[in-house]
Amino acid sequence: MDDQQWNCDYCLSRPNLYQRPMTTTADPPLTSLAHGGGCGCKLAPNVLAEILARTPLAVAGPDLLVDAATSDDAAVYRVSNDAAIVATTDFFMPIVDDPFEFGRIAATNALSDVYAMGGRPIFSLALLGMPIGKLSVETIQRILEGGRQVAEAAGAPIAGGHSIDSVEPIYGLVALGLVHPDRILRNKGAAPGDVLILGKPLGIGIFSAALKRGILDAASYRDMIVSTTRLNTPGAELFDIGGVHAVTDVTGFGLLGHLSEICRASGVAAVIDRLAPIFQAAEALARDGVKTGASARNWASVSAMVEAPSDWPPHLRDLYCDPQTSGGLLVSVAPNRVDALLELFHRHGHHDAAVIGRVEAGSPRISIA
């Protein structure tokens, strides 16, 4: 993007701010066409639970190894003694205005759920909804190109898909992977004494809110793109570490929302006793009151099981509930395998991976120490 020209009058007077790329068409900025963006579009956990309350789960046969019972990241179906299919889908409205980067982010995010189950992506299908007449063919092609680049880099070429004419721009993937039936990673299985590790910094939702307000600086925009397009490839090797008991990825429900799913699925309590990795600029923005509407919805959904000190700063609550688009893996691992796990993250370029807490016996709850 360094060689592109820019056309934001406000930003021209503020050269340190992110500036929208100039286009050759009269297309409006992508984010202006959407009421939400990225994983912040997800329904709040309590709303989703209410909607699904009367929806029965799939009739489980012996080969359906993982279904929606524990709110896991993907379904897993055994096709042989040595292979199981990991199947998931994810799509959303634009979190950035650059169509190529939007495609890359959406594809990275969709593939993350395969990695979170310990699988390796094998191919994918594109899901495309575009406001035809508002966006040019060239812009839509760039979205698809960005998604294709990421999918092919992950070894999951886009083999087809489905498209509709929609009011808001939507893009994502159906992602399919393979995993050995004995090597499946789940959000169920965290054990007392485990250490909790988070693979990416928090703050993507706050960056997206600042971007829509025109107050995101160029360095933070670059951090946002780098983080949201970094594949969660460590997931495919987590089983080899040994002692990995539970895994999920932190996306639209925020750190507390996804950690609460691990706690409920595993029947354990969690303690966050270290500051989670956070983008410094995102924390500064949060202190100034920048946040998404989804963070408040996420807090409303999880607050009943969170024990926090009375002086817990409100901006940290917003960050821990901040919806992450293409966020990091959250891993519950035996204490004697922490160093090996961190080394794995670092080897895959996830240098911000850090210990954030521990797992304890007890009813499902999260304590902020």
**Residues recognised as catalytic:** 39
Query: Could you give the CA distance from residue 73 to residue 84 in angstroms, rounded to a whole number?
Result: 15
Residues 6+ apart with CB under 8 A from 195: 332, 333, 334, 335, 338, 355, 357, 358, 359
Query: Could you give the CA distance from residue 110 to residue 331 in angstroms, rounded to a whole number?
Result: 19
Query: Could you give the CA distance from residue 207 to residue 216 in angstroms, rounded to a whole number?
Result: 7
DSSP secondary structure letters along 28-79:
PPGGGG-SS-GGGGSPPHHHHHHHHTT-PPP---TTEEE-GGGT-SSEEEEE
Angle between helices 218-228 and 204-213 (to 10 degrees): 140
What's the half-sphere exposure (Cβ side, CA atoms, 13 Å) at 112?
Answer: 33
Query: Could you give the CA distance from residue 172 to residue 103 in angstroms, rounded to a whole number?
Result: 8
- Residue 131 · residue 165 · CB < 8 Å: yes
Q: How is residue 363 written in tokens?
A: 């009813």
Query: Listing from the earlier edge strand, what are the strands of the sheet with 269-272?
Result: 244-249, 329-333, 195-198, 354-360, 269-272, 365-368, 306-307
Please state, in angstroms and as integers, the Cα–Cα distance from residue 251 to each residue in 110, 200, 243, 312, 352, following that order.
10, 11, 24, 23, 17
